[in-house]
Amino acid sequence: MELKRVVVTGIGAITPIGNTVEEYWNALIDGRSGAAPITQFDASLFKTQFACEVKNYDPNNFFDRKEARKLDLFAQYAMIATDEAIADSGLNMDTVNKDRFGVIWGAGIGGLKTFQDEAIAFGTGDGTPRFNPFFIPKMIADIAPGHISIKHGLRGPNFTTVSACASSTNAIIDATTYIRLGKMDLCVAGGSEAAVTEAGIGGFNALQALSKRNDDPKTASRPFDKDRDGFVLGDGGGSLILEEYEHAVARGAKIYAEVIGSGLSADAYHMTAPHPEGLGAMNVMKYALEDAGMSPQDIDYINVHGTSTPLGDVAEAKAIVGVFGEHAYNLNISSTKSMTGHLLGAAGIIEAIACILSVKNDIVPPTINHFTDDDEFDPKLNFTFNKAQKREVRAALSNTFGFGGHNASTIFKKI
């Protein structure tokens, strides 16, 4: 059967460096860090005392008090980003066929704060089992697409993808597949996370995964730098309106880019560490190129997973050289996590947005916080250190890799 084409017609975001798409994109190109001391709880006793939180956020600006109490922060971010994406798409929500309009959402954890608070309340009480009646529906990871569909009346496929830090990339891939197969015309695809909590910081500290650069948070996320010491945890979310190409053309929609290919693979190696030779990362990029019908020479920019961990950055750089060969030295490579921190299940969507806007605007956001070269990396690779670079971006590839060895990549192309 002939697969249908899928395009991006709407974008929304709420991130540590901007609460709208425009703010987010401008901050990326300016190279601004979103890292700062944690404000949501007293982190003074934690090994890591900073994170990339969403700034100047007041739920009462978006929800009435009664509604906000029923929504974990990750679901609030999901609804806010999706409202922006729908508005940006120019869709007439009164006339669109909502039976063929789905929601596929990614979340690596879901309502962590809700779970944490309820467990603490029970553990510090008198043993009487008193739980908030909204405990379960606030906490479960699949509630975000449920709320989106209820608000907008979207009756197409509706579920959550959970693959750790690859979750929202999986959401984009699944949504693209359903549209390609003719199962729906439109889909909200995205992800959100709100793990900057005592449990989130404490848990990742116990894994020795987070940077402990408490004296200088803004420079703590430094992918591909010799002195990188772990990632910076971030909160937020992003949303895309994915649409069947002919459907978009028929209504005169603006089109940002085409979702041209994707890949999925597993490291089959370790619970948290990447394959040391980047085998899973190599495979997932190869599969994405094959799915797109592209050669390595067709890609101009890779937004890497690039978390600022000692092992992960090396494995990914090896994988890029392994897949792209000599063309690797013609690529722009950047890790926007150097600015946003690591949004876990929402990392893939906000990095996909960075790729889409790079394709649209022919500019590559930087990898900030580079101070010292590391001999582990091929010096001929262009990591777009410290300053955005203008160039034609015909197609961009976005990589996301999750605990458990889950790898997912997507390619966005000019149209």
pLDDT computed for residue 311 by the predictor: 93
Residue 196 — φ and ψ, nearest 5°? Answer: -80, 80
Give the CA distances from residue 90 to residues 31, 176, 309, 350, in Å, rounded to whole numbers and listed in that order. 30, 20, 40, 21
> What's the mean pLDDT in 32-46?
98
Full set of structural domains in the chain with CATH: 6-250 (3.40.47.10), 263-413 (3.40.47.10)
Strand order in the sheet with 395-402: 158-161, 101-106, 186-193, 236-244, 6-14, 257-266, 406-413, 395-402, 301-303, 332-334
69-84 confidence digits (pLDDT tens): 999 999 999 999 999 9
Burial of 374 from C-beta contacts in 10 A (0-12 / 13-18 / 19+): middle
Q: Residue 257: which H helix or E strand, with range?
A: strand 257-266
Q: Is the pLDDT of residue 257 over 90?
A: yes
Residue closest to 348 by CA, chosen among 224, 196, 176: 176
208-237 confidence digits (pLDDT tens): 999 999 999 999 999 999 999 999 999 999
- Tell me how many degrees the CA angle 123-129-133 measures, rounded to the nearest 5: 105
Residue closest to 211 by CA, chosen among 317, 308, 109, 101: 308
**In the block, which residue shows the tokens 């190279």?**
31
363-391 confidence digits (pLDDT tens): 999 999 999 999 999 999 999 999 999 99
Among candidate residues 152, 305, 370, 406, the one labeled active-site is 305
> What's the mean pLDDT in 292-301?
98
pLDDT computed for residue 1 by the predictor: 79
Nearest-angstrom CA–CA distance, 266 and 163: 11
**In the block, which residue shows the tokens 């190409």?**
245
Report the percentage of the chain scoring pLDDT > 90. Answer: 98
**7: its two tokens:** 């395009």
Among candidate residues 52, 147, 152, 165, the one labeled active-site is 165
> What's the mean pLDDT in 297-313?
97
pLDDT computed for residue 385 by the predictor: 98
The yes-or-no answer on residue 406 being catalytic is no
Among candidate residues 147, 152, 275, 342, the one labeled active-site is 342
Nearest-angstrom CA–CA distance, 406 and 381: 25
pLDDT computed for residue 304 by the predictor: 98
Ramachandran assignment for 33, one of left (phi > 0), alpha (psi -120 to 50 degrees), beta (any other)? beta
> What's the mean pLDDT in 127-134?
94
The yes-or-no answer on residue 187 being catalytic is no
Q: Is the pLDDT of residue 276 over 90?
A: no
pLDDT computed for residue 258 by the predictor: 98
313-348 confidence digits (pLDDT tens): 999 999 999 999 999 999 999 999 999 999 999 999
Nearest-angstrom CA–CA distance, 229 and 220: 8
pLDDT computed for residue 281 by the predictor: 96
Which amino acid does the sequence have at 358?
Answer: S
Q: Is the pLDDT of residue 107 over 90?
A: yes
Question: Who wins on pLDDT, 273 or 14?
Answer: 14
**Structural Rg of the chain based on CA atoms:** 20
Q: Is the pLDDT of residue 245 over 90?
A: yes
